[in-house]
Amino acid sequence: MKVLFIVTAFQRHEKDVITPWLLETIKSLGDLGIEVTVFAPSYRGLADHTIKGIPVKRFRYFFRRWENLTHEETTPDRLKRGLFYKGLVAFYVLGGMIGIMRLCARERYDIIHVHWPFPHALFGYLGRWMCGGRLVCTFYGVELQWVLNKMPAFRPFLKWAARVSDEVVAISSYTAAMLRNVEDVPIRVIPYGISVRELSPPVRRSSGPATILFVGRLVERKGVAFLIDAFQNLCRSSDVRLVIVGDGPERRALEQRARSRGIEGEVRFVGQVEAD
């Protein structure tokens, strides 16, 4: 079976830590004998390549220097930077449409699986039209909230994407409930998980202060600012420390937040770390 994943972002090189859950999903599918190809936007001129045995087809959509609508920041965060990036979306959509038609003119896929259907369901729809197969759309909660709260004019697009899909997937029951309020279609709830085989045996806690650990991309919706505020209150009555693993556009502001609250000595920003 051949499957095409249409995604917003995917690893650009072996040490890239972006979208690790998609990489693990594809590796697990490969273990089952399913052949997966990734269709993703270019980043600053990046061409087609292979990551850990996975072929990645990149579509170009603008001049190399400004081809950064995705990857380093989420698209909603990037769009906050001004009108240029809002205008860049039109080129992104056009480039994706041309790219998917070129790819599906050469290849045939049994399943086209769209992640983040706004606007990528359009690419999936064109791909299905050209090469057959079934169209699966996976919706994410942050995507639905972004469109419904910030761009309600595109609500009809979400309705259309749900209707034209052969299968609709939501990553949580909460996301499924939001989507049903947009279009009442059958929805499979398939959360992302982690293989317990990857977990190490529990380690006995050493003496010293208790440690609170956060691991994730440092973007506004993760709520790390609230964690720092709550940790400040906890410091007043307990011997604790906070370790924040990950990087992102909010890191500098979060470091400043810790300093302004006088707890920079108890908060450690580790940055990105290797998976092992």
Angle formed at CA 272 by CA 266 and CA 274, multiple of 5 degrees: 120
Tokens representing 223? Answer: 């709520």
The CATH number of 201-271 is: 3.40.50.2000
- E-state strands within the chain: 2-6, 35-41, 49-51, 54-59, 111-115, 134-139, 167-170, 188-189, 210-215, 240-245, 267-271
Averaged pLDDT score across all residues of the chain: 91
| Cα dihedral across residues 31, 188, 160, 92: positive or negative | negative
Residue 275 near residue 245, CB atoms below 8 Å:
no
**What are the sequence ranges of the domains in the chain?**
2-189, 201-271
| Cα dihedral across residues 258, 260, 261, 266: positive or negative | positive
pLDDT tens per residue across span 177-219: 999 999 999 999 999 877 766 666 666 666 778 899 999 888 8
Tokens representing 276? Answer: 């092992």
Q: From 29, 27, 58, select the one nearest 44 (Cα to Cα).
A: 58
Which pLDDT score, from 0 to 100, does residue 197 have?
67
pLDDT tens per residue across span 5-61: 999 999 999 888 788 889 999 999 999 999 999 999 999 999 999 999 999 999 999
- Across the range 157-180, mean pLDDT stands at 96
pLDDT band at 75 (very low <50, low <70, confident <90, very high): confident
pLDDT tens per residue across span 250-272: 899 999 999 999 999 999 999 88
pTM above 0.85, yes or no: no
- Across the range 114-124, mean pLDDT stands at 97
In the chain, % of residues over pLDDT 90 = 73
CA distance 269 to 193: 26
What is the phi/psi pair of residue 157, to 5°? -65, -40
Angle formed at CA 200 by CA 198 and CA 205, multiple of 5 degrees: 150
CA distance 217 to 7: 18
CA distance 191 to 169: 9
CATH superfamily label, 2-189? Glycogen Phosphorylase B; (3.40.50.2000)
Equal CATH topology for 2-189 and 201-271: yes
